[in-house]
Chain A
Amino acid sequence: MTHLIDVENLRVTFPTRSGTFEAVRGISFTLGKERLGIVGESGSGKSMTGRALLRLIRPPGQITADRMEMHGQDLLNASEKRMRQVRGRQMSMIMQDPKFSLNPVMTVGQQMIEALRTHEKVSKSRAGERALEMLDEVAIRNPERVLTLYPHEVSGGMGQRIMIAMMLLPKPEILIADEPTSALDVSVQLQVLDIMDKLVKERGMGLIFISHDLNLVAKFCDRIAVMYAGRIVETCKASELGRAKHPYTLGLLNAVPDLEHPRARLDVLKRDPAWREAPSVSARQ
């Protein structure tokens, strides 16, 4: 079986005055038509992994890998022109905060139509209709009106749904969601996740879900890879998270305050220097 994404020994490095800094230190994983969650704290390299797949790391940052393929096609040495076709059309990314990732001086409709027409030969009016249908799919009421609004005129939850609609419009096969809901309220969070989940399932897409919230990832993904200091320290099926063994994974699970099970003190992670040095666990399947 060919994987949607096949990555081996991926590294992302940044040169600094005091030597090179490795943000991602040799991780391997594959993605099929499934939902893979990548979890870790800030600075663990999870977002860099997502960006590296789309080659969105700017120089002087460098991406190296033994293999980084999509459908068996090399992404690592693909031309910039080819990458522009890949981005959005085959692999799309939903960013964390709609406030910063939507274009503030274009209406929602203009930017959605632009996103679609970049990748497909469709007339403006047809693109407009498709945008309308898509907004309807992400449960936006009154989509005709929303198309004419500017990003500052919509709420955070609606902005994020617009992002999802825009990213799914060219029908990509792979969706990378980088903390898609951490800027949103709890009640809106679930709604946005449900919508994303439904669309990913219906279309048989591959999803990489990047988050710092282990419980949330466990709920929405099939497989989980836990990252620490640029490496994968543990990987497991989401349903088997309860049997996770790595002290870092357990630490993350126990650090969350839980309304139903109150504790006098929350467990604090005691970071073991050995975790950094342990070789990366492969998340290939």
Chain B
Amino acid sequence: MNAIEARGVDVYFGSGAELTRAVNDVSFEVAQGESFGLVGESGSGKSTILRVIAGLVPGWTGEITVAGESLQDEKRSRAFHKKVQMVFQDPYASLHPRQTVDRVLSEAMELQGITDINRRITRLLNDVGLGAGFRFRYPHQLSGGQRQRVAIARALAPEPEILLLDEPTSALDVSVQAEILNLLADLRSELGLTYVMVSHDLGVVGHLCGRAAVMKDGEFVEVLGIDAMRRLDVTQPYTRHLLESSIRSIR
């Protein structure tokens, strides 16, 4: 069964002369337990797709089904948020500065009517490698990597099946990025999660995903397996260009 199915998704921003087509006739499916990547330059529409799924973009058209539930507009049921959660790019901006870790995590669980919050917070913090000692800290008392761990714990709090990851490591140092990527890989195998990850870093996508879509100007240029990417076995010149510039930049 597919966790996510999207058919002919279009997104327009603005109106009149300013009308921009941010996403143009995009279709894809993500199998349950799969890890699917969206790569492309900034402005290519990759984050917009995640935001459409999460219900953060008004006025999109097309069909999207997530875990059997058909999505409309921006409305998302509470049950939807129990199944699907999102981790944002910048952990410096995505945590409430005046709420403790405890407050952030318990609010996410209260909304889903989860009981025995006390015990679960301890387990969540252990799961993301922080430990109970971090429970009553404020975001300013945490480093960037620790904040992103809290953001991941927050997303995991309702025990979702699908995680939407919007550049989860691009604000972090390479050494911290390695820790977070390892953590995400471990969580996926332990909890059987489905990931949809947006990144401009092909190394990161190659590490965490099995399949990826290359985007340009709101369209899917090509959907291909990571193995094919490694062999440079691509059909579109744009994909080749992207791969080559990425490989050249790290050599």
Contact = CB atoms under 8 A, between A and B. Distances in A.
Interface of A: 41-42, 155-156, 185-190, 212-216, 219, 251-252, 255-260, 262-263, 265-269
B175 A187 contact: no
Interface stretch (B60-68, B98-106, B107-115, B178-186): B178-186
B248 interface: yes
Q: Is the interface of B mostly helix, strand, loop or mixed?
A: helix
A255 B145 CA distance: 14
Interface stretch (B8-16, B49-57, B134-142, B196-204): B196-204
Contact of A266 (B207, B245, B248, B249): B207
A255 B179 CA distance: 9
Interface string B214-251: 00000000000010011000000000011101111111
24 contacts: A41-B173, A156-B42, A185-B42, A186-B201, A186-B245, A186-B249, A187-B41, A188-B41, A189-B249, A215-B250, A219-B249, A255-B177, A256-B178, A256-B203, A257-B203, A259-B203, A259-B226, A259-B229, A259-B243, A262-B226, A263-B207, A268-B178, A268-B179, A269-B178
Contact of A185 (B176, B178, B200, B241): B200
Nearest to A181: B249
B137 to A, nearest CB: 17
B204 to A, nearest CB: 6
A253 B42 CA distance: 26
Interface residues of B, number: 34
A69 to B, nearest CB: 32
A258 B203 contact: yes
Contact of B206 (A42, A186, A212, A257): A257
A266 B180 CA distance: 10
